[in-house]
């Protein structure tokens, strides 16, 4: 039986436009054989969660460098819970200070990758976690 | 430096062949080189050795000339830093106008010589602080400015005839310039004495910085309004800072940065000519903004090539007459994307080398990044150290004591030629594509940049490129070794309170009236600047003014290229 491809949504919440990291990660995941959808910039939490639902993805990767993560991430997680999307794996990347990492993880963000993370680390993380839950 | 005498050149060729046949292989047998081939970031092969053979086609007068003279390869001023040092201009802004005003005063007191404002994302996108899209973003990455009221606080106690100010603002550049003019009027500073820069480079927004509000053509119309207004009213203002910085930060290599920036420059000149302006009336005030990345000599060559290529373009393509129309003045910022979150103190060394490249490359002004920027907005201490880098180079290194001290190096001259050649190929390619709008619509720039960004990252991942502290020389770091700046969440509340108070207390009839006048004028040909100045003076907010223009011009929808 052929394995179903992992579907990933890479999303950019917040007003910042630093999409270099999001695009590089999207491409690395795609090169690793996953189906990747990239939202484009400045997505509201509502738009992101709607796309998660419509595209039926296994994984949501959030990239933010504006500093608004403590406002926007909780909103996204809350909306996902409301829609029953609890089984979607959520990870994040960007400029996220150390002290915010624990609260975000408690909230349900599985992993947070800072600047300098090799793309292979992200790819392996996604593979391992999705396979575990399948 | 040119070996014009054939006999001498022949002699050299023979000697070099012998060296390559005998000395080199003998040495290599015992001491192999570290890599099979060496390249810089732009993929230009780097040879083992550069000799006069590599610069034999160079004509000193035509290709290098003298500083302050065409083609300005050696610098735009005759004596460069022997006269005045470059402007030390630190990009800064966070929280409320009060906090940033305090930081400005701190930087001026520490010896900074020009201001540079960082705005928060809502301001950059033309949203007021209480817009739904602004939630969580107010004052985070820059200072929040929703109206002239905020600007008055920002410049409190800072006389505009004593400083020059650079504003990193694009979509709402007209509104922020209008506020600056309004502050000048309040302080009694004549328009002819207002000096500074609005970034106002909208084209690169569509493929690099991506903070676009309006579609490309109306965006360039607003740019041209500012160019025209400044040419007629603000003789000391640089209306545009044609920016390669963001192109580079988005992932391009040095050649792409150079080529795409100059191509944007071409498009702005064309737009102003179409408006009926004469090239020599506005070109002298066009300014440029580049990044300084890690490869020292690639960067130096890029700056030198940029000046020469722009001079040629202005002379040959646009038939400028005044030498000042052909000179390229530039601001440089060290490269944010080279900063690492691990071992952050190492970034001070990176920034030092990048600054050296900018100064050896002949920049007019420089921002040095703070070492904590891969983690947060810079703390006061980090900003001070960053400024000290410039001061140490300026006063201790001896580098500014002569002009273009790397000029004449076989390597630098050869690399300068190569950068120019490769950038020219790109310019021809975009010309053939039909110009900048066509290239944007096709996603040409976006694809080029995304490819380079991915390639660079893969080189790091596979260790083809060593990043100290990231993929090699890694140490276990348990805690962040430096103190970070935090933005108080109260900032957003304070800012919204002030904004709502303003909306209650201003003359609302007057505000409504100027906004409706602006609406009527927006799709006609007249220059919008005077009306926008009137609107900000009536305390119409940034969001209100932008909304009027959104209604007329529509909003840009991102072309997604991964």
Q: Give me the pLDDT at residue A2, please.
A: 57
Give yes or no for a contact between B328 and B76, defined as CB atoms under 8 angstroms apart: yes
Domain housing A120: 7-133
A102: in domain = yes
Percent of chain B surpassing pLDDT 90: 90
Give yes or no for a contact between B196 and B166, defined as CB atoms under 8 angstroms apart: yes
Cβ <8 Å between A116 and B134: no
Our CA-based measurement puts residue B169 at a distance from the nearest CA of chain A, in whole angstroms, of: 14
B74: in domain = no
Indicate if the pLDDT at residue B488 is higher than 60.
yes
Q: Which residue has the higher pLDDT, B2 or A22?
A: A22
Q: Which residue has the higher pLDDT, A82 or B112?
A: A82
Q: Give me the pLDDT at residue A1, please.
A: 47
Q: Which residue has the higher pLDDT, B90 or B449?
A: B449
- Asked whether residue B53 falls in the same domain as residue B179, the answer is no
Q: Which of these ranges, B13-22, B106-115, B410-419, has the smallest mean pLDDT?
A: B106-115
A116 inside 8 A of chain B by CB: yes
Q: Give me the pLDDT at residue A91, please.
A: 98
Give yes or no for a contact between B362 and B76, defined as CB atoms under 8 angstroms apart: yes
Q: Give me the pLDDT at residue B561, please.
A: 86
Tell which of B16, B41, B57 closes a domain. Answer: B57
What's B111's domain CATH number?
3.20.20.240
Tell which of B461, B488, B516 closes a domain. Answer: B461
Per-residue tokens: B518: 């602006």
A113: in domain = yes
A-to-B residue pairs, Cβ atoms closer than 8 angstroms: 96
A118 inside 8 A of chain B by CB: yes
Q: Give me the pLDDT at residue B2, please.
A: 54
- Asked whether residue B228 falls in the same domain as residue B338, the answer is yes
Our CA-based measurement puts residue A133 at a distance from the nearest CA of chain B, in whole angstroms, of: 27
Q: Give me the pLDDT at residue A73, please.
A: 97
Residues of B in contact with A24 (CB under 8 A): 251, 453-454, 457
- Asked whether residue B47 falls in the same domain as residue B125, the answer is no
A2: in domain = no
- Asked whether residue B143 falls in the same domain as residue B23, the answer is no
B390: in domain = yes
Query: Among the residues of B125-172, which ranges form H helices?
Result: 148-154
> What are the angstrom distances between the C-alpha of B338 and each of B40, B128, B356, B373, B374?
15, 32, 15, 10, 9
Determine the residue among A15, A34, A73, A104 to mutate to test chain B binding: the one whose Cβ has the most chain B Cβ atoms within 10 Å: A15
pLDDT in tens, B313-353: 999 999 999 999 999 999 999 999 999 999 999 999 999 99
Domain housing B44: 6-57
A59: in domain = yes
Q: Give me the pLDDT at residue B274, please.
A: 96
- Asked whether residue B200 falls in the same domain as residue B318, the answer is yes
Cβ <8 Å between A20 and B458: no
Distance (Å, rounded) from C-alpha A121 to C-alpha A106? 21
Cβ <8 Å between A24 and B471: no
E strand or H helix at B291, and its extent? Answer: strand B287-292
Query: How many residues can be counted in chain A?
Result: 134
- Asked whether residue B341 falls in the same domain as residue B431, the answer is yes
- Asked whether residue B201 falls in the same domain as residue B240, the answer is yes
Q: Give me the pLDDT at residue A92, please.
A: 97
What's A92's domain CATH number?
3.40.50.280
Domain total for chain A?
Answer: 1
A43: in domain = yes
A1: in domain = no
A36: in domain = yes
Determine the residue among A13, A23, A64 to mutate to test chain B binding: the one whose Cβ has the most chain B Cβ atoms within 10 Å: A23
* Nearest CB partner across the interface for A24, out of B121, B457, B479: B457
A124 inside 8 A of chain B by CB: no
Q: Report ipTM (2 d.p.).
A: 0.90
Q: Give me the pLDDT at residue B8, please.
A: 82
Cβ <8 Å between B210 and A98: no
A95: in domain = yes
B366: in domain = yes
Give yes or no for a contact between B73 and B65, defined as CB atoms under 8 angstroms apart: yes
- Asked whether residue B167 falls in the same domain as residue B251, the answer is yes
Distance (Å, rounded) from C-alpha B34 to C-alpha B30? 12
Asked whether the bond before B71 is cis by omega within 30 degrees of 0, the reply is yes
Q: Give me the pLDDT at residue B391, please.
A: 97
B380: in domain = yes
Q: How confident is the model at residue B294 (pLDDT cuts 50, 70, 90)?
A: very high
Determine the residue among B457, B465, B467, B487 to mutate to test chain A binding: the one whose Cβ has the most chain A Cβ atoms within 10 Å: B457
C-alpha torsion sign, points B147, B149, B150, B152: positive
Percent of chain B surpassing pLDDT 70: 99
Question: What mean pLDDT comes out for the span B126-146?
Answer: 95
Domain total for chain B?
Answer: 2
B455: in domain = yes
Q: Give me the pLDDT at residue B113, please.
A: 80
In DSSP notation, B437-467 reads HHHHHTTHHHHHHHHHHHHHHHHHHTTSS--
B143: in domain = yes
B475: in domain = no
B62: in domain = no
pLDDT in tens, B36-62: 999 999 999 999 999 999 999 999 999
Indicate if the pLDDT at residue B134 is higher than 50.
yes
Average pLDDT, chain B: 95
Q: Which residue has the higher pLDDT, B380 or B436?
A: B436
């Amino acid at each position: 039986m052929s394995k179903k491809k992992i579907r990933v949504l890479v999303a950019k919440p917040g007003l910042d436009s630093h999409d270099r990291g999001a695009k590089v990660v999207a491409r690395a995941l795609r090169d690793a054989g996953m189906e990747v959808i990239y939202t484009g910039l400045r997505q509201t939490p509502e738009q992101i969660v709607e796309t998660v639902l419509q595209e039926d993805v296994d994984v949501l990767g959030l990239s933010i460098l504006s500093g608004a993560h403590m406002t926007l991430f909780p909103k996204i997680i809350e909306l996902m819970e409301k829609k029953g999307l609890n089984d979607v794996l959520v990870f994040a990347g960007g400029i996220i200070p150390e002290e915010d990492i624990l609260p975000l993880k408690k909230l349900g963000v599985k992993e947070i990758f800072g600047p300098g993370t090799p793309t292979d680390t992200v790819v392996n993380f996604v593979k391992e976690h999705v396979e575990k839950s399948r | 430096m040119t070996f014009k005498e054939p006999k001498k050149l022949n002699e050299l060729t023979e000697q070099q062949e012998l060296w390559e046949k005998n000395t080199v292989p003998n040495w290599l047998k015992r001491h192999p080189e570290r890599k099979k081939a060496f390249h810089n970031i732009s993929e230009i092969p780097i040879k083992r050795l550069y000799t006069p053979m590599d610069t034999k086609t160079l004509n000193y007068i035509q290709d290098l000339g003298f500083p302050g003279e065409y083609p300005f390869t050696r610098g735009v001023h005759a004596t460069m830093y022997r006269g005045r040092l470059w402007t030390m201009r630190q990009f800064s802004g966070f929280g409320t106008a009060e906090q940033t005003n305090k930081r400005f005063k701190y930087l001026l007191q520490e010896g900074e010589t020009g201001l540079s404002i960082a705005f928060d994302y809502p301001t950059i996108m033309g949203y007021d602080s209480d817009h739904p899209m602004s939630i969580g973003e107010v004052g985070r990455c820059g200072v929040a400015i929703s109206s002239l009221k905020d600007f008055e606080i920002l410049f409190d106690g800072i006389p505009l005839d004593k400083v020059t100010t650079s504003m990193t603002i694009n979509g709402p550049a007209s509104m922020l310039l209008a506020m600056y003019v309004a502050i000048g009027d309040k302080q009694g500073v004549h328009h002819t004495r207002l000096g500074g820069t609005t970034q106002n480079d909208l084209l690169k927004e569509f493929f690099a910085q991506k903070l676009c509000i309006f579609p490309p053509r109306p965006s360039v119309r607003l740019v041209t309004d500012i160019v025209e207004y400044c040419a007629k009213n603000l003789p000391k203002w640089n209306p545009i800072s044609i920016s390669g910085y963001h192109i580079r930060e988005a992932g391009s290599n040095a050649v792409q940065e150079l080529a795409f920036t100059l191509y944007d420059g071409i498009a702005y000149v064309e737009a102003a000519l179409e408006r009926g302006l004469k090239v020599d009336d506005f070109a002298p005030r066009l300014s440029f903004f580049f990044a300084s990345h890690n490869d020292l000599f690639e960067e130096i060559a890029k700056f030198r090539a940029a000046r020469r290529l722009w001079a040629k373009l202005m002379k040959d393509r646009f038939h400028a007459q005044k030498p000042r129309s052909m000179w390229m003045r530039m601001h440089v910022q060290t490269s944010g994307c080279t900063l690492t979150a691990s071992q952050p103190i190492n970034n001070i060394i990176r920034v030092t080398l990048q600054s050296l490249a900018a100064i050896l490359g002949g920049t007019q002004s420089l921002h040095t990044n703070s070492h904590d920027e891969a983690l947060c907005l810079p703390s006061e201490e980090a900003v001070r150290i960053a400024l000290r880098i410039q001061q140490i180079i300026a006063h201790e290194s001896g580098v500014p004591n002569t002009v273009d001290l790397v000029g004449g190096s076989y390597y630098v001259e050869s690399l300068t030629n190569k950068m120019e050649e490769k950038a020219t190929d790109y310019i021809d390619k975009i010309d053939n594509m039909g110009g900048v709008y066509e290239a944007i619509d096709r996603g040409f720039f976006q694809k080029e940049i995304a490819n380079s960004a991915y390639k660079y990252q893969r080189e790091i991942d596979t260790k083809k490129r060593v990043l100290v502290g990231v993929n090699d020389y890694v140490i276990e770091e348990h805690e962040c070794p430096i103190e970070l700046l935090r933005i108080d969440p109260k900032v957003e509340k304070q800012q919204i309170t002030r904004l709502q108070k303003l909306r209650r207390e201003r003359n609302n009839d007057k505000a409504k009236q100027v906004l409706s006048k602006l609406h009527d004028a927006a799709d006609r040909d007249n220059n919008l600047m005077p009306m926008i100045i009137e609107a900000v003076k009536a305390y119409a907010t940034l969001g209100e003014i932008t909304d009027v223009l959104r209604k007329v011009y529509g909003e840009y929808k991102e072309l997604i290229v991964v």
